Amino acid sequence: MLVFFILKTIGLFGGTFDPVHCGHEAMARAALVEGVDHLIVMPCHRSPFKLEAGGFAEPTSGEHRWQMLNLVFGDEPRIEVSRHEIEGPPISYTWQTLEFLWGLYPEDRLCLILGQDQYELLSQWARIEVWGSRVDFLIFGRGTDYGRKSSDPGWRLRWSSRTIPDVSSTMVREALAEGEEGRNILHPKVRDYIHRQGLYR
């Protein structure tokens, strides 16, 4: 008897998501249209880049960020919000998460979903010379800024031509701290959650 295996594309969309906003939501839903079969949205514990930069090094608790992501994506059966990194080591490294996912999905393709800001730092990611050629990359520019080319050898890069709102979590936090509601940049359920929990004041 012949057995046929259908290769699936497992997407990994990681980040701090502090908070999740309309740009994140647009990227996640666009990834499903771009060929990702199952998308894992994974809030990190702490980003090594933000820690080293001395910026917003202490994010909102992982539990709050995980809850807000579930409010946005909980009704989409092809999107999974993972607790793997927020329950892991204090610093979240992509190579460690990929090792975990390769163990779960040994027969499938892994695809990293990146915004342009993360793409521009890609050469600085830990151990990327080891794992960069083993995954696909789907990259989203902000607004209409897309289509850049890369000469990085062995990296399978694809730019989406879909328009993504030009929003950052820093912009959202600043607006909320100034008393704005974030009506046009936050999912209504997330906006209500932030208000109830007294976050970002």
Tell me how long the chain is.
Answer: 201
pLDDT at 180: 87
* Domains of the chain as residue ranges with CATH: 9-165 (3.40.50.620)
Give pLDDT tens digits for 38-94: 999 999 988 877 654 455 557 899 999 999 999 999 999 999 999 999 999 999 999
CB 169 within 8 A of CB 150: no
CB 136 within 8 A of CB 13: no
pTM of the model: 0.90
CA 170, 17, 109, 92 torsion-angle sign: positive
Give pLDDT tens digits for 157-172: 999 999 899 999 999 9
Rounded average pLDDT over 6-25: 95
Beta-sheet strands, E only, within the chain: 9-15, 38-43, 79-81, 109-115, 136-140, 156-159
Averaged confidence pLDDT in the chain: 89
Query: What band does 154 get if pLDDT is binned at 50, 70 and 90?
Result: confident
